[in-house]
Amino acid sequence: MYDFLTSIELYNFLKGPMVWIAFLVFICGSIYRTISLIMLAKKDKVVYPYLSLKYTLRSLAHWLIPFGSRNMRLHPWMTFFAFTFHIGLLVTPIFLYPHIMLWYKAWGVRWWSLPENVADIMTLIVVLCCVFFIFRRMFASEVRFVTYASDYLIIAIAAAPFVTGFLSFHQLIFPYRLMLILHIIIGELMLMVIPFTRLSHMLFFWLTRAHTGSEFGVFRHSKDY
């Protein structure tokens, strides 16, 4: 098993065909889920006909700004970890030098990269945030009540690419080739499951804000934040 996981054949497959498969599943799955969600929203005969760009933008503005909503101010630690996590989750992979070099070799394009020590710090922060989310689901009664085993799995999938990437880059406790291949596998797995799990909120949050913001603004004449 170890020989297979560290084989050059598997490495070349993961860097080649599997990348295309992962992106194809992600793109097609995202399109399918988005269309399905919009079609489902059209069945709403109350809010959908009155979707308001004004209240949608108002809702987005307050929920995308740290501590912009009252709910965020009531839960400052959750707000801090949530925003820190999402920033690190998006920025670190995009501006990581080894990732940029992969794009450069494949497509001939490159962009500015994070300094190595900054990337390390952001990686560790993302992992720390995942630990916080796990403990929150374990010990906060209002969250534990709506937590399923799949929620812990999703957190693990989000954290694993950062853990394996950090270990492979610094070659701390496991062989470099093994951790690199695991890093690629988990990264591609995460990309493919995004449209079909709770990770899909990164794609659909704007639809949620459009619906909720319009409902509160048009019908309830109140703020949704």
- Token readout for 174 is 């496991």
pLDDT for 46: 66
pLDDT for 2: 64
pLDDT in tens, 129-164: 999 999 999 998 888 888 889 999 999 999 999 999
Exposed/middle/buried for 177, CB within 10 Å: 0-12, 13-18, 19+? middle
pLDDT for 50: 75
pLDDT for 214: 81
pLDDT for 3: 67
pLDDT for 34: 87
Q: Among candidates 218, 200, 221, which has minimal Cα distance to 210?
A: 218
**Which stretches in the chain have pLDDT values below 70?**
1-6, 46-48, 221, 225
pLDDT for 4: 67
| 24-55 per-residue burial string, b: 16 or more CB within 10 A, e: under 16 | ebbeebbeebeeebeeeeeeeeebeeebbeeb
- Is the pTM higher than 0.75? The answer reads yes
Distance (Å, whole) CA 192 – CA 189: 5
